[in-house]
Amino acid sequence: MDVVASQQGDPEKMYQLIGISAALRYFAILCALLAVALILYLKPTDFRGHWSAFSMAVTGATIVVLLVGQTSLFPAFCKLPFVGNIFPDIDGKWKGTLDSNWPEIAKRNNIPTSGIPQAPVAASLTIRARLFFVHITLVSDNNYSTSKTVFVRATKHPESGELRLTYVYENSTLRPEITDSAIHHGAAYIDLKDHNTFEGLYWTNRNYHQALNTAGRITLKRA
């Protein structure tokens, strides 16, 4: 039986979508703009005054980055047209389905499918996206097993700019079916096809020694 019950993401940094060099460059520009504004406002007459204005600018830029980047202001910030092209607005709840190839595997191996869902399983995805982390939680309507994501990364296609979330998870099943395993690992990726749709694939190593490892499709829309 192939159902992902819940996945909790570990941190991954959204700013890596633009690279550390670009992130530092934008921060330096912000510091410079604040420093110029403070110098024009305070009109310092000596080196100490100019240094004080620069220090205040760095502190102010850090506060702005943390306030906007690490709070609920960040999703709103991502809705701005020029920002959304860099950091897509993915924060929030998404609903869709998990479509597994398990019925075909069971049919090929003459495994009884009684009680096994034949249709795609409904699932909900919650994403918390901030400048310095991305957390994902995926929960299906079936509570057969639970999963913990051990790695998640946000990347962009170099040509199309399409956002991709890639993750690896560990699944635990307290009462596995005879054709299942108590613990297995899996991986998945989901691509942001537009502002309201994620599509991707997942695959597992569950019962791979019996050639029963599974895969399937993930389809999600913004709730």
> What burial class does residue 102 get, using C-beta atoms within 10 Å of its C-beta: 0-12 exposed, 13-18 middle, 19+ buried?
buried
- Is the separation of the CB atoms in 187 and 168 below 8 Å? yes
Nearest CA among 85, 87, 93, 81 for reference residue 68: 87
Highest mean pLDDT: which range of 12-16, 33-37, 137-141, 143-147: 33-37
What Cα–Cα distance (Å) separates residue 97 from each residue in 74, 75, 193, 216, 218? Answer: 28, 25, 16, 10, 6
Q: Give tens-digit pLDDT for 1-14.
A: 344 444 444 445 67
Which residues does 70 contact at the CB level (< 8 Å), separation at least 6? Answer: 130, 131, 132
Residue type, 86: I
pLDDT tens column, 58-112: 999 999 999 999 999 999 999 998 898 889 999 999 999 988 888 888 888 888 7
SS3 of residue 179 by DSSP: coil
Predicted local distance difference test score (pLDDT) of residue 79: 92
pLDDT at site 151? 82
Q: Give the mean pLDDT of 174-192.
A: 83
Average pLDDT over residues 126-130: 89
The first and second tokens of residue 59, run together, are 């502190």
Q: What is the average pLDDT across 185-195? A: 91
With bands split at pLDDT 50, 70 and 90, how would you rate the model's confidence at 169?
confident
Q: Domain extents for the chain?
A: 6-16+86-222, 19-84
Choose the weakest-confidence range: 83-97, 151-165, 188-202.
151-165
> Based on the number of CB atoms within 10 Å of its own CB, is 54 exposed (0-12), middle (13-18) or buried (19 or more)?
middle
d(C-alpha 82, C-alpha 87), whole Å: 9
Angle subtended by helix axes 20-42 and 47-69, to nearest 10 = 130
The pairing of strands 92-100 and 121-130 is antiparallel
pLDDT at 194 over 90: no
pLDDT of residue 114: 58
For 143, phi then psi, to 5°, come to -100, 35
Share above pLDDT 70 across residues of the chain, in percent, rounded to a whole number: 88
Between 14 and 34, the higher pLDDT residue: 34
CB 90 within 8 A of CB 127: yes
What local confidence, expressed as pLDDT, does residue 105 receive?
85
Report pTM: 0.79
Q: Which two tokens stand for residue 42?
A: 């305070």
